[in-house]
Amino acid sequence: MAAVSAVSARHRIRVALVVGAVLAASLAAFAGPAQAVSPNVVISQVYGGGGNSGAPFTHDYIELFNRGTAAASVSGWSLQYASATGTGNLGANTGQLTELPSVSLAPGQYLLVEEASTAAVGSPLPAPDVVDPSPISMSATGGKVALVSSVTPLGCNGGSTPCPPPRPHPATARRR
């Protein structure tokens, strides 16, 4: 029964994030070109506003997914956050950067990262794979989240502080 309820909870999370996906798609029109840190590990879901009045969940969260056909390590990687308005830099402080643990994701595996909560409003998340000790408090209306292949803050925001051109991931770089 616990497995069924965990699957059901993950399904509820996915359904609730349809709104987040629409918001992200609308923000994408204002974003510059993005290049993946990895050809396989991607951010599959982002939820901000955990614990806010009327929130469906008690915590903000970020979910990663390995869409590849081989295991992929996230060791030494981070998740970095900045506001949607273009002010403040990605990963500017510990409350805007989550270091990922030394784990490998199997093909088709998800990694649920629990972030901040403003109150005990909403349903608890399914058991997270990672609980950030200095959690990111994400906006309920918009923001930027980057999956970065290091724990060094990006120090840019794509707005008032432009980000440098991305470097290709070694797995996708062409050799001559």
Chain segment 12-25, per-residue pLDDT in tens? 444 443 333 333 33
CA 129, 50, 130 angle in degrees (round to 5)? Answer: 15
Say yes or no to pLDDT of 80 above 60: yes
pLDDT range class, residue 62, cuts 50, 70, 90: very high
Better pLDDT: 47 or 160: 47
Q: How far is 78 from 150, CA to CA, in rounded Å?
A: 6
Q: Which residues of 46-66 are buried (b: 16+ CB within 10 A; e: fewer)?
A: bbbbbbbeebbbbbbbbbbbb
According to the model, what pLDDT value does residue 50 have?
A: 85
* Pairing assessment for the beta strands 61-66 and 41-47 based on DSSP bridges: antiparallel
**What are the CA-CA distances from residue 36 to residues 61, 69, 129, 154 (Å)?**
20, 16, 22, 14
pLDDT range class, residue 123, cuts 50, 70, 90: confident
% of the chain with per-residue pLDDT over 70: 72
Distance between terminal CA atoms of the chain?
Answer: 54
Better pLDDT: 130 or 142: 130
According to the model, what pLDDT value does residue 68 have?
A: 95
Better pLDDT: 93 or 18: 93
